[in-house]
Amino acid sequence: MSTHKEKLSILSEMIAFAKLDKVMEDSEYNFLLGVASNLGVEKQEFDSLFNKKVDAVVPKSHAERILQFHRLVLLMNVDSVQSMSETNKLHSIGLKMGLPPSAIDQVLIVMHNYPNKVVPPNVLIDIFKAYYN
C-alpha cells in the first residue's frame, strides 16, 4: 500500500480538513484515530500530527486517490454538520488529486441519498468508473 510518509500525509490532510471549521468534535477525532489505526500509525505519532507540518504526498494510484476522497467525504459527515467551506475544500482536494470534477460533483450530490450521507464504496467506485470509460 502506501509508504509511512504517504500515510502521514493522508492523515495530515484529513486533520487539516477536520480543523477547517475550527472545532474538532470527538466524533471527528475518533474517526481520524480509527483511520490512523487502520493505516498502522500509532496514536502518539497520530497525535503529533496536530502540531507538526507534513509534506503533502498525492496518493499514486487512482484507487488510492478515490479511497482518500471517500475518507474525506466520510469525515465531512461524521459530525453531521456540513458547511459550504467544507464542501468547497473537499471539491478542491479532489481536483488536486486529479479526480474528474463531474465525478466529485456527483458524489457530493448522491451522498444526500444515503443514511448519514455515507456513500457505499461500490456506489462511489461506480461513479468514478463512469468518468474513466
The pLDDT value given to residue 59: 84
* Number of compact structural domains in the chain: 1
Q: What pLDDT digit, counting tens, does each position of 61-95 carry?
A: 889 999 999 999 999 988 777 778 888 999 999 99
Q: Provide, rounded to the nearest whole percent, the portion of the chain with pLDDT above 90.
A: 66
The pLDDT value given to residue 102: 95
The pLDDT value given to residue 81: 72
The C-alpha atoms of residue 69 and residue 51 are separated, in whole angstroms, by: 23
The pLDDT value given to residue 60: 85
- Does residue 1 have a pLDDT over 60? no
Average pLDDT over residues 46-65: 90
The C-alpha atoms of residue 16 and residue 24 are separated, in whole angstroms, by: 10
Cell numbers that stand for 6 in this block: 504517504
The C-alpha atoms of residue 47 and residue 50 are separated, in whole angstroms, by: 6
Q: What pLDDT digit, counting tens, does each position of 6-30 carry?
A: 999 999 999 999 998 888 889 999 9
**Domain residues for 48?**
4-130
